[in-house]
Amino acid sequence: MVSVNFISPITNTCKAAYNKLPSIVVAKDSVINGVAHIGQKWTSPHQRAILGITAIVMQPFLDWHNKKVDEKTRKVSVARTCAKIIAGTLTGVALRYGFIKGIKAMSTPLAKVPKNASNFKQKMMTCLTPSEWDQKDMKALEQYQFAMGTMWSLVAMMFTNFLIDAPLTKFLTNKFIAIQHKMDQKGENKV
Amino acid sequence: MIPPMKWFSKSYVFEKFSKNPANMLVVTGVLGWVLSSAAQIFAIAINDKISPKEKMFLIPQEIADAVVNCVSFYTVTSGVKYIGKKLTNTAKLRTDAVSKLLKDRGLILEKGAERVKNKAYAGDWNFDITKLPDYESKIESVYKPFNNGAEVIASLVGSIISSNLITPIFRNHYAAKKQKELMSYNKKNTQQNLTPFQQKVSFADYQKLIYSRPKSGNLKV
């Protein structure tokens, strides 16, 4: 049986095109250190905060220009989107940050546990320290703490979605709609 | 398939994420969407104000919305992260220090120099810096911090594109379609006993319907 490979010429062309692209050499120390700092220190609270900031810039704009729905719906949609972004970002960042702090406190390296601490306190401070950790690579431990904190914060968010996000979103939506009404009365809110 | 409780075990988290922070951002991002969607579906299922007939319509709608959100987040974020990783892995994007190390090993094709057949140079698709024999001993410490940072930035860019551009555009398109369906459903159920003027669905009625739902759109965790 004769098989014809259509994929191979395409991938070869892509690879050749990639090879032809010029390489980028980053020489500026400030850029190199900045990128390395992001890789080491930025984690889920930063990601959530950046997503929130970019969301508040982009999403209301998309809702405002959604011509498939009428003007009133668009205005409510913008208010709800802004409210959801603010509520979600505030709770998301705070919970992730809090849980990472908590996990850090419970995964202290053995060498950093005070010698005079009670047995209970010592156990609490090391109960989440991974046994696989070689006691030297602090960067690996830090990344583990970020990941574990983020994962537990996600579980907590299953509840805070109902307890904090939903009522806060409703409250903020009503506030924003009230502001829109005031602007409408003054004639400043034309789509 | 790894059992869900193992996801939270110390060994699993350490092994999976301690060396690669960008992986964690993608996985927890998708997990966030899944948990958020599960909460939304649960909220509909236990809401007494929503009739069983409406639940039959809303729950599949939520599942479809969740699947699109998760797929878009995972594919776009992973895709952009892959591009970032490929650029640093092949040394197409590299620092000055890495450039010097590669130059010493004759792995940079100088301008005008002849290419040795079947040899992969820095910046080639088939070049992989992590496969070099002295990678762990001499290159990793110079290469890894920049590579991790580039991957995290690529993940962030991917998640911004998927969460703040693709998902809202799809959601708005879908919501507009659903609004029309909801209005025609409302009209069908009420028009028999109404005057022609009353048959039109007012915006206040639409708002009431929308607010009877636990959410209208995506609630991010």
Q: What sign has the CA pseudo-torsion A28, A30, A31, A33?
A: positive
pLDDT of residue B217: 46
User: B214 near A161, Cβ under 8 Å?
Assistant: no
Residue whose tokens read 């939270």: B8
ipTM for this prediction? 0.79
CA A27 – CA B87 distance, rounded (Å): 16
For the segment B133-168, what is each residue's pLDDT rounded down to a tens digit?
Answer: 999 999 999 999 999 999 999 989 998 998 888 888
Give B218's pLDDT tier (boundaries 50, 70, 90).
very low
Contacts of A180 in chain B (CB under 8 A): none
Say if B154 is an interface residue toward chain A (CB within 8 Å): no
What is the distance, to the nearest Å, from the Cα of residue A183 to the centroid of all Cα atoms in its chain? 33
- Could you say which of A27, A146, A148 has the minimum Cβ distance to residue B21? A146
Contacts of B8 in chain A (CB under 8 A): 148, 151-152
Q: Is the pLDDT of residue A74 over 90?
A: no
User: B218 near B171, Cβ under 8 Å?
Assistant: yes
Spell out the alpha helix ranges (H) of B4-51.
10-17, 21-45
Region A76-99 average pLDDT: 90
More confident residue, B20 or B144: B144
Region B122-134 average pLDDT: 93
pLDDT of residue B221: 43
Say if B96 is an interface residue toward chain A (CB within 8 Å): yes
Bridge partners of residue B95, in order along the sequence: A26
Instruction: Locate A153 and state its tokens.
Output: 């914060």
Contacts of A146 in chain B (CB under 8 A): 17, 21, 24
CA B92 – CA B128 distance, rounded (Å): 10
Name the nearest CA neighbour of B28 among A126, A148, A166: A148
User: A154 near B32, Cβ under 8 Å?
Assistant: yes
User: B45 near A164, Cβ under 8 Å?
Assistant: no
- Could you say which of A19, A85, A146 has the minimum Cβ distance to residue B125? A19
Name the nearest CA neighbour of B149 among A148, A32, A20: A32
For the segment A27-55, what is each residue's pLDDT rounded down to a tens digit?
Answer: 999 999 999 999 888 888 898 899 899 99
Q: Is the pLDDT of residue A25 over 80?
A: yes
Q: Do B163 and A51 touch (CB under 8 A)?
A: yes
Residue pairs between chains A and B whose CB atoms are closer than 8 Å: 208
More confident residue, B194 or B86: B86
**Least confident residue range of B8-17, B41-50, B156-165:** B41-50
Interface test with A, best of B140, B161, B164, B200 (most A CBs within 10 A): B164
- Could you say which of B32, B91, B122 has the minimum Cβ distance to residue A154? B32
Give one word for B114, left, alpha or beta, with left for phi > 0 and alpha for psi -120 to 50. beta
The identity of residue B64, as a single letter, is: A
pLDDT of residue A3: 54
**Least confident residue range of A8-12, B87-91, B147-151:** A8-12
User: A48 near A93, Cβ under 8 Å?
Assistant: yes
Say if B206 is an interface residue toward chain A (CB within 8 Å): yes
- Could you say which of A23, A154, A165 has the minimum Cβ distance to residue B94? A23
Q: Is the pLDDT of residue A57 over 90?
A: yes
Residue whose tokens read 């409250």: A171
Residue whose tokens read 């994007």: B93
User: B1 near B45, Cβ under 8 Å?
Assistant: no
Question: What is this structure's pTM?
Answer: 0.74
Bridge partners of residue A24, in order along the sequence: B93
Contacts of A51 in chain B (CB under 8 A): 156, 159-160, 163-164, 220
Say if B25 is an interface residue toward chain A (CB within 8 Å): yes
Instruction: Locate B71 and state its tokens.
Output: 């797929």
Q: Do B10 and A131 touch (CB under 8 A)?
A: yes
User: B84 near B153, Cβ under 8 Å?
Assistant: yes
